[in-house]
Amino acid sequence: MNPPFENHDQLWERADPLALRFLPAVRPLFRGRRKHDPEHIGTCVLLRVGPARLLLTAAHVIDEFLSDDMLILGDAALEGIKAQGVRNDPPNGKPRADDPIDAGILRIEADHPLGIDQHFLTPAAISIQEPTYQNRTYLALGYPTKKTLLDRVLRRIQAYPVKYVGSAGSIDTHNGLGLHPSTHVVVDFDRKHVATDEGVRAVVSPRGMSGGGVWWWRNAEDRYVLPEARLTAIITEHRERKRVLIATRVRYHIAIIRKHWPDLVPFLEGFPIP
């Protein structure tokens, strides 16, 4: 085995090419209301399955659009979305806040134009279940609300993504949260001590990153091999007191596709049925 990185800062820098590769497929979502500024609600990951353009996100993000316009940040400006939203139901009639799965998908209408069509990932970029060995490393990408700026003069929105590299939470951490590694990815995240371009420092709250992606970094510790990663989960929650980010595995999003859009099932060959 090649020697590991000496510290987290080196690992963080090595994540740059991965972030540059995947960030075009990670987009902030906004709620549009008449006579109001667009409101940053969450994040999504673009996925193309066969002819369908899908936005993987959290169910509670989709809940916010039940009666309002949906907007997504394109390469130059906000674009309207016409889509069918599907999400899992909370267990036993519980409120969404008590839903541990919190998985949702928006399917863009086939004839609706989008200027970001070239940025959609394909199922080949997904990992349903990575090996559960110790010291797994993850890359999380999303758009915090506090890093979204509205320029009313130019009528333009600027949103700045956040990249975070973290280790998998321990089994004890999962158990303490009532979660299991087969259903969720728990990433250690102390926002007061995060490696950045300016060194280790406090970062803004990850609120707004719900629906962002978590990539399993397959060869994070091997400095002599080109970095490789697969999308494995979608961010749903930040537990600040526990110092973790929680993400639901994309196996649940694949299950939603199989259940609600049977026309797309032939394009999911090779994925085990969740």
Structural domain includes residue 164: yes
Q: Are residues 34 and 134 in the same domain?
A: no
* Whether the predicted pLDDT of 118 surpasses 70: yes
pLDDT range class, residue 36, cuts 50, 70, 90: confident
Q: Are residues 245 and 136 in the same domain?
A: yes
**What number of other Cβ atoms are within 10 A of residue 148's Cβ?**
18
Structural domain includes residue 7: no
What span, in angstroms and rounded, lies between the C-alpha atoms of 264 and 262? Answer: 5
pLDDT range class, residue 4, cuts 50, 70, 90: very low
Structural domain includes residue 114: yes
pLDDT range class, residue 5, cuts 50, 70, 90: very low
pLDDT tens readout for residues 236-273: 999 988 889 999 999 999 999 999 999 999 999 876 65
- What range defines the domain where residue 226 resides? 124-250
What integer is the mean pLDDT of 134-161?
81
The answer to whether the CB of 74 falls within 8 A of the CB of 116 is yes
pLDDT tens readout for residues 188-232: 888 877 766 666 667 788 899 999 999 988 766 666 556 678 999
Average pLDDT, the chain: 85
Q: Please state the domain count of the chain.
A: 2
pLDDT value at position 149? Answer: 86
Across the chain, the runs of DSSP E, i.e. the strands, are: 26-32, 39-49, 52-58, 69-73, 78-81, 83-87, 103-108, 137-142, 148-151, 156-159, 162-167, 184-188, 194-196, 199-201, 213-217, 229-239, 244-249
Question: pTM value?
Answer: 0.90
What's the maximum distance between 2 C-alpha atoms anywhere in the chain?
Answer: 59
Residue 107 belongs to a domain with what CATH number? 2.40.10.10
